[in-house]
């Protein structure tokens, strides 16, 4: 066995696996608990739009057929929504898939993937698996307005001809921090034209309207820009795995060549189409999140804890001591949150905004644990 593991490619051998939020069923099995609250994976506590279920039932009539490998209808809808040609859209099995497509297309041995400290864990995973070298730019200091957030100057200072892809998350996970739109576009304009910029906007809909950048407008000015979006967060479709990229037509064409022919299944396609028809559900989810963010932040601050500013659907909180034992104590109370030791933030927990009752239960459990 050791010989075979030696045979794996160097980038794969040293890969640290992604640590997902703990599944509810797993905690049920381990502790025999029921009534578990999971606030660990930034899922929408309101669930998906009610329009999705009938769409899934209709799709079930075609179980034996391969999905539309081009996702024609969904791309048409997205094209209309974003005012962009459908040839500039790439669908993925989650936006995670799109991130991997970018890595497999533009990274490899001899190329560098650039991203910030405390950026989303999939950037190093996808890049290293593709054989690229990683360059991690230091994040903003703790006492800045965006503690642990991306430092655009530090990223810009590391741009050179070897950088194949620079990954930016706005807002970022696991910090919740964001970038000012004008500063972000100035950064994008500084990136050499043959370096790809991935702007990961998984939390775009949750950002305050005034802070949401006009990223699809930027696409015309910056052909090396790839904007990624997902149906996993505000659309509440995380289980189905569907996301997409908006890009220059040449880049989209390249990504589509690398893509598995049927990477997005029929249920995901049907659900995403139905979800796009329900603006009211998105608006409700966004409004509930704004209330929930305030509830969590105030609840945590009342416990004497400091939170990072967030434009996403979670709050990252400084426990002022090792947070993993606190995470474990919360598990015993049936509350699953996310410890951030794997992000080199061992004193922090990331807590997803739940329903009002779920967030209240989390705060109460935390109060008991800290007592
Ligand atoms: C959740 C998340 C994604 C989306 O992942 P999917 O594969 O679309 O479920 C992408 N980027 C960031 C920063 C995220 O937090």
Nearest atom in ligand 1 to the alpha carbon of residue 230 is: 8
Q: Is the pLDDT of residue 16 over 90?
A: no
168-205 residue pLDDT tens:
999 999 999 999 999 999 999 999 999 999 999 999 99
Nearest atom in ligand 1 to the alpha carbon of residue 41 is: 1
Here the tokens at position 54 are: 């009938």
Cα 331 to ligand 1 centroid, rounded to whole Å: 24
46-94 residue pLDDT tens:
999 999 999 999 999 999 999 999 999 999 999 999 999 999 999 999 9
Name the residue at shortest CA distance from atom 11 of ligand 1. 202
CA–CA gap between residue 270 and residue 282 (Å, rounded)? 17
Q: Which of 200, 236, 237, 238 to mutate to test the pocket of ligand 1 (most atoms within 8 A of CB)?
A: 200
Tell me how far CA of residue 138 lies from CA of 173, 204, 283, 339, in angstroms. Answer: 16, 24, 35, 21
Q: Is the pLDDT of residue 333 over 90?
A: yes
Q: Minimal CA–CA distance to 74: which of 275, 209, 214, 254? A: 275
What band does 321 get if pLDDT is binned at 50, 70 and 90?
A: very high
Residues with Cβ within 6 A of ligand 1? 42, 94-96, 120, 169, 173, 200, 202, 230, 232-233, 238, 243
Beta strands 348-352 and 338-339 are: antiparallel
Q: Which of 40, 122, 206, 235 to mutate to test the pocket of ligand 1 (most atoms within 8 A of CB)?
A: 122
Nearest atom in ligand 1 to the alpha carbon of residue 93 is: 7
Here the tokens at position 255 are: 């990504």
Cα 154 to ligand 1 centroid, rounded to whole Å: 24
Confirm if 264 and 71 have CB atoms less than 8 A apart: yes
Q: Give the pLDDT of residue 104.
A: 97
Backbone angles phi, psi at 43, to 5 degrees: -85, 160
Cα 238 to ligand 1 centroid, rounded to whole Å: 9
352-368 residue pLDDT tens:
999 999 999 999 999 99
Q: Give the pLDDT of residue 125.
A: 96
255-281 residue pLDDT tens:
999 999 999 999 999 999 999 999 999
Cα 201 to ligand 1 centroid, rounded to whole Å: 8
Nearest atom in ligand 1 to the alpha carbon of residue 96 is: 7
Q: Give the pLDDT of residue 22.
A: 87
Name the residue at shortest CA distance from atom 14 of ligand 1. 202
Cα 275 to ligand 1 centroid, rounded to whole Å: 17
Cα 121 to ligand 1 centroid, rounded to whole Å: 10
What mean pLDDT, rounded, does the chain reach?
A: 96
What average pLDDT does range 135-160 have in this prediction? 97
Burial class of 3 by CB neighbour count within 10 A (0 to 12, 13 to 18, 19+): exposed
Q: How many residues does the chain have?
A: 371
Confirm if 174 and 338 have CB atoms less than 8 A apart: yes
Q: Is the pLDDT of residue 10 over 90?
A: no
DSSP three-state, residue 317: strand
Q: Give the pLDDT of residue 322.
A: 98
Cα 1 to ligand 1 centroid, rounded to whole Å: 34
Name the residue at shortest CA distance from atom 10 of ligand 1. 202
196-232 residue pLDDT tens:
999 999 999 999 999 999 999 999 999 999 999 999 9
Q: Minimal CA–CA distance to 201: which of 241, 246, 236, 237? A: 246
pTM of the model: 0.97
Query: E strands along 219-365, which residues?
Result: 225-230, 243-247, 306-307, 314-318, 335-336, 338-339, 348-352
Q: Which of 124, 230, 312, 313 to mutate to test the pocket of ligand 1 (most atoms within 8 A of CB)?
A: 230
Q: What percent of the chain has pLDDT over 90?
A: 91
Q: Give the pLDDT of residue 14.
A: 86
Burial class of 366 by CB neighbour count within 10 A (0 to 12, 13 to 18, 19+): buried
Cα 339 to ligand 1 centroid, rounded to whole Å: 17
Cα 371 to ligand 1 centroid, rounded to whole Å: 34
188, 234, 329, 368: CA torsion to nearest 10? 110
283-294 residue pLDDT tens:
999 999 999 999
* Angle of the 266-276 helix axis to the 52-60 helix axis, nearest 10: 150
Confirm if 9 and 232 have CB atoms less than 8 A apart: no
CA–CA gap between residue 25 and residue 32 (Å, rounded)? 10
What band does 1 get if pLDDT is binned at 50, 70 and 90?
A: low
Q: Minimal CA–CA distance to 316: which of 305, 326, 324? A: 305
Report CA Rg, the chain.
20
Tell me how far CA of residue 233 lies from CA of 2, 157, 203, 285, 298, in angstroms. Answer: 40, 32, 7, 10, 23
Cα 95 to ligand 1 centroid, rounded to whole Å: 6
């Amino acid at each position: 066995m050791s010989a075979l593991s030696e045979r794996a490619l160097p980038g794969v051998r040293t890969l640290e696996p992604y640590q997902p939020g703990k599944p509810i069923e797993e905690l049920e099995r381990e502790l025999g608990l029921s009534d578990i609250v999971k606030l660990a994976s930034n899922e929408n506590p309101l669930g998906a739009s009610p329009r999705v279920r009938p769409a899934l039932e209709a799709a079930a009539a075609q179980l034996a057929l391969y999905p539309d490998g081009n996702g024609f209808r969904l791309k048409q809808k997205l094209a209309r929504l974003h005012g962009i040609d459908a040839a500039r859209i790439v669908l993925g099995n989650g936006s995670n898939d799109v991130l991997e497509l970018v890595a497999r297309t533009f990274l490899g041995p001899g190329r560098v993937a650039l991203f910030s400290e405390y950026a989303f864990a999939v950037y190093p995973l996808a890049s290293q698996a593709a054989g690229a070298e990683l360059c991690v730019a230091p994040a903003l200091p703790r006492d800045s307005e965006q503690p642990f957030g991306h430092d655009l100057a530090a990223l810009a200072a590391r741009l050179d001809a070897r950088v194949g892809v620079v990954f930016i998350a706005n807002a970022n996970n696991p910090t919740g921090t964001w970038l000012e739109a004008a500063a972000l576009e100035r950064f994008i304009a500084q990136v050499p034209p043959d370096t790809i910029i991935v702007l990961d906007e998984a939390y775009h809909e949750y950002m305050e309207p005034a802070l949401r950048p006009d990223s699809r407008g930027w696409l015309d000015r910056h052909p090396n820009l790839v904007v990624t979006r997902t149906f996993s967060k505000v659309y509440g479709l995380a289980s189905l795995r569907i996301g997409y990229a908006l890009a220059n037509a040449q880049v989209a064409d390249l990504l589509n060549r690398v893509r598995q022919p049927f990477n997005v299944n029929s249920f995901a396609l049907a659900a995403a189409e139905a979800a796009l028809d329900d603006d009211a559900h998105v608006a409700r989810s966004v409004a509930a999140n704004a209330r929930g963010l305030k509830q969590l932040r105030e609840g945590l601050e009342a416990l004497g804890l400091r939170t990072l500013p967030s434009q996403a659907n979670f709050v990252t909180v400084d426990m002022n001591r090792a947070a993993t034992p606190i995470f474990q104590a919360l598990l015993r109370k049936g509350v699953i949150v996310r410890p951030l030791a794997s992000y080199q933030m061992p004193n922090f927990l990331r807590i997803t905004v739940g329903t009002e009752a779920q967030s209240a239960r989390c705060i109460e459990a935390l109060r008991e644990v800290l007592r």
